Amino acid sequence: MRLAFLGTSAAIPSPWRDTTALVFEVVPELVLVDCGGSPVQKLRRLDLDPLRLTRIVITHTHPDHAYGLPALVQNLILLGRRAPLPIHCRAEHVETLRGLLGLFRLLDREDAFPVPLHGVEPREGRRLLETGALTLTASPNAHGAMPNLALRLEGDGAVVVYSSDTRPCEAVVELARGADLLIHEATFAERDRERAGWHSTAREAGEVARAAGVRRLLLAHVDAPYHEDLAALTAEARRVFPGEVEVAEELRWYTP
């Protein structure tokens, strides 16, 4: 398994970081998780053929995680895709995503490819799919009134967990138990904890990683004001988590 970040910023991008999207490769699966920014351009910068995408997972429908979806589908139509491209999401978001694509008439045009939307009613440890290469498990997290999914991806003997946007919560700790790599949001520094709302600080991400017993922690979904000084965020997490910690870089391949 390998993975790369197409975007690592919170809701507002900066000159250095775009909004959230990740790609996971477990041959033959190529899975896009969340869809901020311009996914086709980023995939090409990673020397990936966008037509290789086998499925998409949208964790929730805040715009910074989903607004790139219509452009992605249009680009794939123009590139000649004909194979279905399943989208997995919470059941509450099926109609929102269908409406987003329908707004641009991307589902019923003559040259459209099938985009089946698979909604799930999540419970802790709910299996979303199992192929020969990849097992994908989901749990609800704690993102206020917005229904959201945290994900556990298993393949090639490795386990990666992605918190998506969330407060620290026991469901993510349990989902990440014993994982090789935890990708946890760290929207704020601890000094700005009162602004965190339904997000996490870097220290809180470290506490989740420690409680789950993961080997490695990548901080993501970082608010734009911190993009020029990331050292404080990693230092915060390291104070409470003894494993390897860094802020995720965009367009770099990681192996768990």
Alpha helices in the chain (DSSP H): 39-45, 63-66, 69-78, 94-103, 170-175, 202-212, 231-240
Which pLDDT tens digit goes with each residue over 4-14?
999 999 999 99
Model pLDDT, residue 139: 96
Distance, in Å, from the CA atom of 185 to the CA atom of 167, rounded to the nearest integer, reads: 9
Letter for the amino acid at 141? Answer: N
For residue 252, name the pLDDT band (cuts at 50, 70, 90): very high
For residue 53, give the nearest of 74, 78, 81 by alpha carbon. Answer: 81
Residue 193 has pLDDT above 90, yes or no: no
Model pLDDT, residue 125: 73
Model pLDDT, residue 196: 79
Task: For residue 249, give both structure tokens.
Answer: 């870089």
* DSSP letter (8 states) at residue 131: -
Alpha carbon 211 to its chain's center: 21
**Average confidence score pLDDT of the chain:** 97
Out of 18, 34, 64, 165, which one is annotated catalytic? 64
Letter for the amino acid at 62? Answer: H
3 state DSSP class of 45? helix
3 state DSSP class of 155? strand
Cα atoms found within 13 Å of the Cα of residue 13, Cβ hemisphere only = 17
Distance, in Å, from the CA atom of 203 to the CA atom of 192, rounded to the nearest integer, reads: 11
> What's the CATH fold of domain 2-254?
Metallo-beta-lactamase; Chain A (3.60.15)
Task: For residue 129, give both structure tokens.
Answer: 């799919």
Distance, in Å, from the CA atom of 42 to the CA atom of 23, rounded to the nearest integer, reads: 10
Which pLDDT tens digit goes with each residue over 78-132?
999 999 999 999 999 999 999 999 999 999 999 999 999 999 987 777 888 999 9
Q: In what order do the strands lie in the sheet with 29-33?
A: 117-120, 87-90, 55-57, 29-33, 21-26, 2-7, 253-254
Other Cβ atoms less than 10 A from the Cβ of 95: the count is 12
Residue 195 has pLDDT above 90, yes or no: no
- Model pTM score: 0.97
Task: For residue 233, give both structure tokens.
Answer: 């965020």
Active site residue 64: yes
Which pLDDT tens digit goes with each residue over 30-79?
999 999 999 999 999 999 999 999 999 999 999 999 999 999 999 999 99
Model pLDDT, residue 123: 76
Mean pLDDT within 195-199: 87
